[in-house]
Each structure stands twice: as C-alpha cells, then as structure tokens.
Structure 1
Amino acid sequence: MRVAIAGAGAVGRSIARELIHNGHQVLLIDKNPESIRPERVPDAEWLLADSCELSSLEEARLDRCDVVIAATGDDKVNLVTSLLAKTEFGVPRTVGRVNHPNNEWLFTEAWGVDVNVSTPRIMSALVEEAVSVGDLVRLFTFRQGNANLVEMTLPADSPYVGTPSGLIPFPENCALVTILRDGQVYVPSAEQPVEAGDELLFVAPADVEENLERLLAPSAHGG
C-alpha cells in the first residue's frame, strides 16, 4: 500500500515509521524545509512541498496513493489536503487529524475526510475509560458505518454479572466485539459469562447507547 502523509512533524514521522514497519510505502510531505529530515525516517520518500497546492500534489503523484493522511498541526491545511486528495486525485481513503475540538464537525465526507482522528477526543476518552465504571465511553466513530466503538466497565451491581453474553438482550444493531479481563483479550462466545470489572467493547450506533447503559448499569442510569 502506498501512503502519503502531509506533515512531517513528530506525528507524521511516527505514523510513517509504523506504516513502513508494516511493509507499506510512505511519502512524507512538508512545506517547512526544517522538517525535511530524511535521516529521521530513512526508508520513507520525502518531498518539500505545500500539500494545499495542486501542483505539489501532482508532483507527489497522489493518483498513485491508496491512502492520504493529513497530519499537520493546522486544521485548515488538513481539510484542504483531504479535499484535494479526494476530489482531484480520487484517493480511495483519506484520514484527517483534528487539532482543535471546535473544528471536528468539519472533518466529514463533505470535505473529503473518510476518517477523522481527534487528538482531544482520544485523550478525553482515555481519561474517561480509565476512571469510569458503568458509563459508556465513546472511543471512536466509524464515519462510513454511522456507528461508534464504545466501552463500558461492567459494574458489580449489574443484573447481568455472571450471565452468558448470548443471553443478554443487547439492543438491536449493537454488537459485543471484545471482552478485556485481567489483561487478556477475549473474543466473546454466546456461552461466555461477563464478570464485574470486565471492559466490554461494543460497536453500536449512537441512538442505542443510552439503552445499552440502562441495560447493563440500571442503577446508575434509571433502567
């Protein structure tokens, strides 16, 4: 897979190293000459250019890329880069970094963004996930599927502690995908009971999240 990354700062370089480690071809693009440091990611291609300029993206041959990641520290740049990649070069997949939470609503398919990654949202979700029991924490939004990855730490007073997951009447269109327990990852089977303290990960649309909370933690959510 060929991936172009706009923004060769710490975030862009880290993504590049990970992708290269996984066997992908990576092009790093940055308009700041001081950011062009090929020795930091020697296996990547480097291009000194402005990703908001159509001519620069033509030079980068974005039409040959499978994915474009807009990872600069400027939300305007990330939006324009994503839009040009999608509309002018037909890139199949675009990922946009959101730096300011007030701008998150802009990072949609209308601006050419297939997946947005909000650093503030991720950090707040990680904090909530670490301290919340009995509350759903939204970890990630799947734009194309209109669903979210959500997590709940099952409280000890849940009526379903000890119940096989296949017998729990989860809301329609809601799927339990993983159980995290004692540092282990379990793929849930219908016969596997859930236990107090389990971290349950679901894929669910936003309109069933409240029902899911009331089902699993009624004492906290009026179920």
Structure 2
Amino acid sequence: MRVVIAGAGAVGRSVARELLENGHDVLLIDKSPQAVSVVRVPEAEWLLADACEITTLDEAALERCQVVIAASGDDKVNLVVSLLAKTEYGVPRVVARVNHPNNEWLFNDSWGVDVAVSTPRLMSALVEEAVSVGDLVRLMKFSQGDANLMELTLPEGAALVGTRVGEVAWPQDTALVTIIRGSRVLIPDPDDALAAGDELLFVTAPAREPELRALLFPSSED
C-alpha cells in the first residue's frame, strides 16, 4: 500500500515508521527544511514542499495512493490536504489529525476526512479507559459512517456477568466486536459467557449510546 503523510513532525515520522515496518510504501511531505530529515526515517521517500499546493500533490502522485494522512500540527493545513486528496485525487482513505478539540466538528466527509484522530481527546479517553471500571468510555469517533468505538470493563456484580453473548438484546446499530479477557483477545461467540473484568469493545451509532448504556446499567437513569 502506498501512503502519503503530510507533516513530518514527531507524529508523522512515528506513523511512517510503523507503516514501513508493516511493509507499506511511505512518502513524507513537509515544507520545513528542519522537519525534512531523511536520516530519521531513511526507508521513506521525502519531499520538501507545501502539501497544500496542487503542484506538490501532483509531484507526490496522490492519484496512486491508497491512503493520505494529514498529520501536521496545523488544523487548517490538515483540512486543506484532506479536501484536496479526496476531491482532486480521489484518494480512497483520508486520515486527519485534529490538534485542537474545538475544531473536531470540521473534520468530516465535507472536508474529505474519512477518519479524524483527535490527539487530545484520544489521550483523555485512554486515561479514562485505563482507570475506569464499570463506566462506558468513548475511545474514538469514526467520521465515515457516524459511529463511535466504546469501551466498558465489566465490574463485579454487573447485570450482564454470566450472561451469554447471544442472549443479550444489543441495541440496533451496535456491535460487540471484541472481548479482552486478561491476555486473550476474543472474537465474541454467541455461547461466550461474559465475566467480571472483561473489557468489551463496541462500535455503535451515537444515537444508540443511551440504549447501550441503559442495557449495561439497567438501574441507572439516563
């Protein structure tokens, strides 16, 4: 897979290294000479140019890319890169970094964004996930399809402990995608019985979150 990353700061370089280790082809673009440091990621291609310019994206051959990642520290730049990648080059998958939480509402398909990654919100969610047992935590929002990734660690005495997955009437537009049990990652089976300490990962439509919360916490009020 060919991936172009706009923004060669710490975030862009880290993503590039991960993708390269997984066997993908990566091109890093940045207009700052200080950021373009080939020795930091020698396996990647590098381009010293402004990713908001059509000529730059032509040179980067975005029409041959499967994924574009707008990873700069400037939300305006990330939005422009996303819009150009999607509308001018038809890139199938556009992932954009959100630097300021107040700008999250802009990062949607209107600006060509398939997946928006809000660094501050993601860090906050991961902190909540690490310390919360018995609370439903929103880990990530998927811009395309309007769905959220939710997490719950089942506490002792929870209503669903001991219930088989297939016996639970999950809300519409909601899927239990993974059960993390200790060091094991389980694909949910209808015969699996839920246990205290299970970490449940759901993908659900935002409108269904109250129903999911009511199912998980039947004694609580919305």
Shorter-chain TM-score range: over 0.9
Q: What letter corresponds to residue 31 of structure 1 in structure 2?
A: K
> Is 1:7 paired with 2:7?
yes
C-alpha contact (below 8 Å) 2:113/2:143 kept by paired residues? no
Task: For 1:16-27, list aligned pairs within 5 A.
Answer: 16-27=16-27
Q: Give a deviation string over 1:94-119, Cα, whole Å, max 9, x none.
A: 11100000001111111111111110
Give me the whole-angstrom Cα distance separating, in 1, the residues matched to 2:112 and 2:190: 40
Match of 1:101 in 2: 101
Distance 1:217 1:155, change over 3 A: farther
* 3-state SS, counterpart of residue 34 of structure 1: coil
Give me the whole-angstrom Cα distance separating, in 2, the residues matched to 1:34 and 1:82: 23
Task: For 1:122-161, list aligned pairs within 5 A.
Answer: 122-161=122-161
* 3-state SS, counterpart of residue 35 of structure 1: coil
C-alpha contact (below 8 Å) 1:12/1:71 kept by paired residues? yes
Q: Give a deviation string over 1:8-48, Cα, whole Å, max 9, x none.
A: 11111111111111111110000000111111111111000
Give me the whole-angstrom Cα distance separating, in 1, the residues matched to 2:208 and 2:62: 39
C-alpha contact (below 8 Å) 1:154/1:217 kept by paired residues? no
Identity %: 65
Give me the whole-angstrom Cα distance separating, in 1, the residues matched to 2:30 and 2:159: 54
Give me the whole-angstrom Cα distance separating, in 2, the residues matched to 1:109 and 1:162: 41
C-alpha contact (below 8 Å) 1:135/1:213 kept by paired residues? no
Query: Paired residues, what number?
Result: 222
Q: C-alpha displacement at 1:157, in angstroms?
A: 2.6
Give me the whole-angstrom Cα distance separating, in 1, the residues matched to 2:49 and 2:115: 24
Q: C-alpha displacement at 1:131, in angstroms?
A: 2.0
Match of 1:28 in 2: 28
Give me the whole-angstrom Cα distance separating, in 1, the residues matched to 2:155 and 2:215: 12
Match of 2:221 in 1: 222
Q: Give a deviation string over 1:100-147, Cα, whole Å, max 9, x none.
A: 000011111111111111101111111111222222111122222222
C-alpha contact (below 8 Å) 1:136/1:209 kept by paired residues? no
Match of 2:184 in 1: 184
Structure 1: 4+ residue segments shifted above 4 A: none
> Is 1:211 paired with 2:211?
yes
Q: What letter corresponds to residue 84 of structure 2 in structure 1?
A: L
List gaps (5 residues or longer) in structure 1.
none
Q: Give a deviation string over 1:142-164, Cα, whole Å, max 9, x none.
A: 22222211111112232221111
Task: For 1:35-184, list aligned pairs within 5 A.
Answer: 35-184=35-184
Q: TM-score scaled by structure 2?
A: 0.95
Q: Give a deviation string over 1:58-110, Cα, whole Å, max 9, x none.
A: 12221221111100001011011111111122212111100000001111111
Q: TM-score scaled by structure 1?
A: 0.95
List gaps (5 residues or longer) in structure 2.
none
* 3-state SS, counterpart of residue 145 of structure 2: coil
Give me the CA root mean square deviation: 1.3
Give me the whole-angstrom Cα distance separating, in 2, the residues matched to 1:211 and 1:134: 16
Give me the whole-angstrom Cα distance separating, in 2, the residues matched to 1:215 and 1:60: 49
